[in-house]
Amino acid sequence: MKLNPLDFEELDRIRIRLIILGGVVILIFSLLASRLWYLQISHGEKYLEFSQGNRIRLVPEPALRGNIYDRNGVLLAENRPAYQLLLIREDTPNLETTLHKVSESLKISYSALQEKIDANQDLAQFRPIILEEDLEYEKAMYLETFQDDFPGVSVVVRPRRFYPQKNFASHLIGYVGIVQEDWTELPAEKRSSSQIVGHSGVELLENDHMIGLDGGRQAEVDHMGRELQVLGEPVPSVPGKNITLSLDVRLQKVATDAMKGESGAVIVMNPKTGGILALASFPDFDPNLFSGGIDPENWKRLLENPQHPMENKAIQGLYAPGSIFKVATAYAGLEEGAITPETEYVCNGVFQVKGRDEPFKCWQEKGHGKVKLHGAIKGSCNVYFYNTGMEAGVDSMHKYASLFRLGKLTGVGLLNEKAGSIPSSSWKKRVLNEPWYGGETPSMAIGQGYIIVTPLQVINMINILANDGIWMPPRLFLEDEGTASQLIPLKKEYLSLIRKGMVAVVNEAGGTARKVQFEEFTVAGKTATSQVISHKTRETLEEELEEEEKLKKEFQNHAWFVAFGPAEDPEISVIALVEHGESGSGAAAPVVRKLLSYYIDNIYKPKSQNTVQTNLNSENIKFSTRLQMAFN
């Protein structure tokens, strides 16, 4: 039988189709084979890790932040357990249902939970979302007990900063908060613990040392995100460094109680070592508010408070020092030969400057009569120091005030310390483009006018005076006390004269701070009142305002008192600034007295008694034994 030629053509077409189809099949299988090679051989390890990620999770263990202690080991800042409520969307089959269960069972607003989810939409599905930062213990235990009813929801324990002393020394210790930036620049092993960082005070200053090294573990989890077992050996975290301050909580508490209801600052120091025994700014705040992120209502309340509780007035508040500046004026007068201890001026209550209509006034309206240096310091006679300042001159007062380190940063280390300013003729020309007028010198001589300083600078000056010209820089940390002393080129005989005048302020008739006198503990001190408004403005207000308006606190002068003791061998110095306190002797001196009284009764006397007892005990030991002990 003969085949039709058309059949041969059809067979050729079929053959071609089969060849093409076979080529396509071979190509497909070649591609599949190459892909399998790529996935299983070439990049097998990589994709094995990806596949294990579905059942293995890395559970970080953030390192504990270092604790902060006072000089006697009293805890000031630590870490307490906080229960975080987490949700992993990848492990939550029905997100809406789960959120409703959480809301109903734990009494948490559903809208608040949904807001947390919405705010983290860009987060990977397997990453946990924090629904609640600090869940109550009872709620945390409830959720742990009924874990099966809350797929994808878990409770983890995280360290949270806690300040057991609450408001005490809040400006010095500082506070922590959630990091806003720079977190990704930290080493990987510090990132978890570094999500909480210091924002102010010592917490900020020592942040890098107090952050520890994170640890962690690999854990196998089930489809609900529950941990089944730990794989391999966990890597333990390393806590951050503990910090010991020179602070004494006992004195800090006395300062806080003494300033109750007032605005201002109190500082207690050891002039011999520079150690800061207490540093308080008022009003203060509770740093615990910031530990988990402060809520808007509390933050607004702090910011809108007219007394500025977030400002550390001890190092940031700038005030005219008032009569305490007479220490620098007296030294300038002595050094420049403008006065001697026997120089006498007559104070009749006013001081007239040529070319000025209004006279400068003494706080003692009737005047002090004839007065010499000792009496002028004791009675804080303005007229005596008007004369001294005019004779010494503005630039001499600037020179010696600067030697006492007024108008300069103390280097205490706390953030945003302010320097203030001590004016000179060149300063005024540079800053105000005006010459210095002679009528401005009397105001400067008594610590008014353009002078602005911080309380820490003022006590710093008094420490130099108490130490006979040796400056011990302010120290925050116990291990740094007594380091880096500097000898200031000041004449000891002049410093001694000024110290004797300050002893008279407290211990002699006519002194302005007689209420701060103690038996067997000689206190040297100086009162000051710094003007908030000028005498002329005050007189205008007296005429224009109603009686109630005149008595408003913001119109009242600031009150200062600074003291050190025992005067013959100082080991404590105290300064108090009471904003709008009106009178140094009336408002600030009682605060200092309370601190000195506590120090004398609870620290100075027991220490003295122990020294006496030790000496008595040593006298009963045989000489040969004492000699041997001395060389051991």
Question: Which domains are assigned to the chain?
Answer: 57-244 (3.90.1310.10), 249-613 (3.40.710.10)
Are the CB atoms for 385 and 332 separated by under 8 Å? no
Coil, strand, or helix at residue 563? strand
Is the link from the previous residue into 283 a cis peptide, with omega within 30 of 0?
yes
pTM of this structure: 0.81
Query: Hey, how many other C-beta atoms are within 10 angstroms of the C-beta on 439?
Result: 14
**Predicted local distance difference test score (pLDDT) of residue 183:** 46
Residue 620: per-residue pLDDT:
53
- pLDDT at position 362: 93
Tell me which residue has tokens 């489809």.
223
C-alpha closest to that of 255 among 161, 317, 164, 171: 171
Q: How far is CA 447 from CA 198, 394, 429, in A?
A: 37, 12, 20
Helix ranges (H only) for 107-200 are 110-119, 137-145, 170-173
| Cis peptide, bond prior to residue 566, ω within 30 of zero | yes
What is the distance between the alpha carbons of residues 462 and 573, in angstroms, rounded to a whole number? Answer: 8
What would the two tokens of residue 86 be?
A: 């987490």
User: What do you get for the CA distance between the two ends of the chain, in Å?
Assistant: 131
Alpha carbon 152 to its chain centroid, in Å, reads: 40
The residue with tokens 């001196």 is 589
Q: Please list the rounded mean pLDDT of every run of 10 residues in the chain (632 residues).
A: 59 77 81 75 61 60 90 95 87 87 89 88 82 87 86 86 93 84 51 71 94 80 63 81 96 96 96 96 94 87 93 96 97 97 95 88 93 96 96 97 96 93 96 94 96 97 97 95 89 97 96 93 95 66 59 80 96 97 92 97 83 51 46 40
pLDDT of the residue at 79: 92
Neighbours of 380 (CB within 10 A): 28
Predicted local distance difference test score (pLDDT) of residue 632 = 42
Question: What is the per-residue pLDDT for 630?
Answer: 43
Per the CB < 8 A criterion, the answer to whether 587 and 560 are in contact is no
Characterise 187 by phi-psi region: left (phi > 0), alpha (psi -120 to 50), beta (else): beta
Report the sign of the C-alpha dihedral through residues 596, 598, 603, 609, in that order. positive
Rounded Cα gap, residues 560 and 591, in angstroms:
10
Could you give the CA distance from residue 263 to residue 471 in angstroms, rounded to a whole number? 29
Residues 6+ apart with CB under 8 A from 503: 522, 523, 524, 567
